[in-house]
Amino acid sequence: MIPTILADDEILARQKLRHMLLEEKEIELVGESATTSETLGLVRREKPDLLFLDIRMHGKDAFDVVAELASDPYFPMPTIIFTTAHDSYALRAFEVHAADYLLKPFTSERLNIAIQRANLQIQSRQTHQPPLMAHANNNPYANRIVFKSRGRILFLPVSSIRWIGAEENYVRICTEGESYLLREPIGRLEEKLDPQLFLRVHRSSIVNLQFVKEVRTENTGESVVILLNGQKLSMSRSYKSRINEWLTHS
Amino acid sequence: MHNSDQGGRVSTRPSFMNPAAFLGIGALLAAVFALQEWVEVRQMSHHIDFTLLVKAWGVQYLLWGLICWGLWRFFGEELQKVSLFWAIAAVFPISILLSVVEEMVWVLCFPNLPLWMPHMNYWSRLLFQLRAELADGLVIFWCAFFLFRGVGYYQRFREKEAAAARLEVQLAQARLHAMRTNLNPHFLFNTLNSISSLMRSDVTAADLMLEQFSSLLRICLERGETQLIPLRDEMEFNEMYMAMQDRRFGGRIRQEIRVQPELHDALVPAMILQPILENAYQHGLSYLSESGLLKIEASKENTCVRLEVLNSGVGLNPGHKNGNNHNLGLVNVKDRLRLHYGENQSFSIKEVGQAQVLVSITLPLQLCEDPAQLLAEYGA
C-alpha cells in the first residue's frame, strides 16, 4: 500500500480525486489538506510516499511546499503528482522531479498511469536512492522527456519509446499505442538518449533496442530493422555493424 | 494647423503645395523668359543688360508666385469647389483685377522701362505694359486655377482609395472574427450536449469526453484570435476532434492522416478542416452501419498546399450535386478561404468512387517563420 495525501483547495476536486483513488488498489489515503500550510503540517506528520498536489492553493505556491520539504535533507520526500488546471507549470514540475502532471479534468485511466509511474519512482527510491532527488545529475542521458501533446502534458519515460522518426524539422516519437510530433531536430534528441538503449539506424530514424526483434536483408538488398511488433524500419549500411554487434552481445 | 492630417485621412492640402514650390516655379519661369528675351534681342544685334532682364522677369514671376500661393493658401478650397457660374461671374473679374494689380506693382518697380522708348508717365507705362502682358497674366492665373482644381481631384481620389482600402481590411477582419466566434459555439454546445447525454448511460465515456473536450478547449483558448496556424497544430486539433468522434462511432471508422513532412510548418487558417470533418461525420459516416473510412491528406503542389478530406458514406445529396451548397459550415470554410487568400485558393466537393465524398482545398504555401518552440525538456 502507498500512503497518500491529497492537497487541493477545492472541495469538489478533492471529492472527485478521493472517489477515483478508492478504485486504485495500492493507494491508502492518509489525509487531505486545503491550504499550503495545512499540507506542510500534514506531510511532515504523516510522511506519505505519495502526494497529490494542486499548484494554486490558498496561501503559498505549491512549489514553496516542495522547497520547504526539500530544505530538510533528512526528511523522506514524498513522490509528487501535480494536479492543476494550468499547463504553464509543467517545466517547473518536471524540474522538481514530479512523477506526473495531471491537467484537470483527467480520467481515471490517466490517473492510473500517473500512479504506476509514481509507484516506480517510489520503489526505486526505497531500494537504492537517498531520500532526496540526488539521482538526477550523474546520468547525462534523459530518463524522461516532458512535452505538450494534444492538450495534455506528458512526462514520457524514454523506455516507453519504440522508435523515433525524423520529419523535416520535427521528430515523431512512437510508443506502444500513440505517436507524438515534436519540433526538434533528430540529432539533438539522439544526443539526449543513452546509446546503450537507443541506436540511430538511419538518417531519419532511431530505435529503442529493447524493441528490436531482428535485422534482416531484404531481397532487394536493403537492410531493415524489424521491431517486436513486426514494424519494419529501413536501415543504412553504415549502421549495420553496430546493430549486429549489439545483437550478438545480447 | 488646420490642414494637418486627421485620423489618417488624406489631406486636401498636400505638402508639395508650399510657398517654396510656388516661388521656385516662379523663379524658374523668370529665368527661362529672361534667357529667351536676351537671346532674341541678341539675334536682332541689339545689346541689353542681362541683369536688368533677370530683375524684370524675376519680379514679374515672383509676384505671380506670391499671388498664386496667396490664392492657394487663403482661397484654395473655395477655388477647388467653385461652380461654373461663379467661375465666370466672380473668378474671371478677379483674375483681370489681379493681373492689373500685378502690372501696377511691376510698373512701379521699374520706372525706366520700357527701354528704347521716349519718356512716359506712370499711367501710359502701365497701359503699354497691360497691352503687352495682360493676356499672359490671365493665362498664368487660369493655369494656376486649373492646377488647384486638379490637385483637389487628385487628393479626393487618393482619399477615396485609402478609405476603400481601410474599409476592406476592417470588413475582412470583422468577418473573420465573426466566423471564428460562429464556429466555436456550435461545436461547443453540441459537444456539451453529447456529454450530457453520455452522463446518463456511460459515466466513464462522459468523463473521457469531458477530458478530451477540455484539452480541445485549452488549445482553442491558448490560440486566441490567431487566424493562421502551423498545419501541425491544425492536425493535432483534428486528431483530437476525431478521437472524440471515434467514441461515438465505437471505433467503426478507420482514420488515416497523412501529412507530407515539409508541410508541418505550413500556415493554414485555424480550424479550417473541423467543419469539413463534422460534415463528413454528420452527412456521410453516420449513415453507415458497418466500417467506414475518414482520411485527411496534406500534400505539397508546387507553391500550394492541398488539403483533402475523404469520407465513405452515402455520397453527395442532390443539392450538393447541383452546386447549391447551403451547408453553413462549408460556406464558412469557403468564405474564410476567400477572405484570407482572395482568388489564390480553391475549394471543391465531389463524389468519388463508391459513395465516397472528397473535399479538396488548395491554398498558397506559406511557412511559419518562427514556430513557437514547443515545451520540450529532457531529464531524469
Note whether A151 contacts B378, CB cutoff 8 Å. no
Domain boundary among A81, A101, A136: A136
Does residue A81 surpass a pLDDT of 70? yes
Interface ipTM above 0.85? no
**pLDDT at residue number A134:** 45
Q: Is 50 exceeded by the pLDDT of residue A131?
A: no
End-to-end CA distance of chain A: 36
Structural domain contains residue A16 = yes
Q: Do A115 and A165 belong to one domain?
A: no
Asked whether residue A151 is domain-assigned, the answer is: no
Identify the closest residue of chain A to B262 by CA–CA distance: A168
Distance from CA of A103 to the nearest CA of B (A): 9
Q: Which CATH number covers residue A63?
A: 3.40.50.2300
Please say if the pLDDT value at position B10 is more than 70: no
**Residues A164 and A118 reside in one and the same domain:** no
Whether A141 is covered by a domain: the verdict is no
Mean pLDDT comparison of A228-232, B98-102, B282-286, highest-scoring range: A228-232
| Maximum separation of any 2 CA atoms in chain A, in Å | 68
The answer on A124 and A49 residing in a single domain is yes
Q: Which residues form the domain of A108?
A: 2-136
Asked if residue A84 and residue A122 are part of one domain, the reply reads: yes
A103 touches chain B (CB under 8 A): yes
How many angstroms away from the CA of B1 is the closest CA of chain A?
52
**What integer is the mean pLDDT of B40-55?**
80
Ramachandran area for residue B25 (φ above 0: left; ψ -120 to 50: alpha; else beta): alpha
For the ranges A150-154, B5-9, B26-30, the lowest mean pLDDT is seen at B5-9
Q: A26 falls in which pLDDT band (50, 70, 90)? A: very high
Is A90 domain-assigned? yes
CA angle, B12 then B17 then B18, to 5°: 125
Q: Flag if B211 and A107 touch (Cβ within 8 Å).
A: yes
Least confident of A178-187, B48-57, B339-348: B48-57
Q: Is there a domain that residue A8 lies in?
A: yes
Beta carbons of B380 and A150 less than 8 Å apart: no
B238-280 pLDDT, tens digit each: 999 998 888 778 788 999 999 999 999 999 998 899 889 988 9
Q: Please confirm whether the linkage preceding B114 is cis (ω < 30° from 0).
A: yes
Q: What is the pTM of this model?
A: 0.69
Question: From the CA of B157, how many Å to the nearest CA of chain A?
Answer: 49
Indicate the residue of B208, B371, B380 with minimum beta-carbon distance to A183.
B371
pLDDT in tens, B184-214: 577 788 888 888 988 899 888 899 999 999 9
The answer to whether residues A123 and A15 belong to one domain is yes
Q: What is d(CA B149, CA B80) in angstroms, rounded to the nearest whole number?
A: 5
Does the pLDDT at position B320 exceed 60?
no
- Which among B208, B216, B374 is the nearest to A183, CB-wise? B374
- Contact criterion met (CB < 8 Å) for B376 and A107: no
Domain residue spans of chain B: 19-167, 202-364
The answer as to whether A145 is a domain residue is no
For domain B202-364, the CATH class is alpha beta
Q: What is the pLDDT of residues B138-191, one digit of tens each?
A: 888 888 888 888 888 888 888 888 888 888 887 777 777 666 654 557 778 888
Is A16 in the same domain as A129? yes
**Considering the domain boundaries, does residue A113 fall inside one?**
yes
- Note whether B380 contacts A144, CB cutoff 8 Å: yes
What's the number of domains chain A is made of?
Answer: 2
Are A147 and B215 a contacting pair at CB < 8 A? no
Q: Which of B70-74, B234-238, B353-357 has maximum average pLDDT?
A: B234-238
**What was the pLDDT predicted at A137?**
54
**Number of other residues whose CB lies within 10 A of the CB of residue A223:** 20
Residues of A in contact with B375 (CB under 8 A): 90-91, 146-148, 153
**E-assigned strands of B144-303?**
228-230, 253-259, 267-269, 292-301
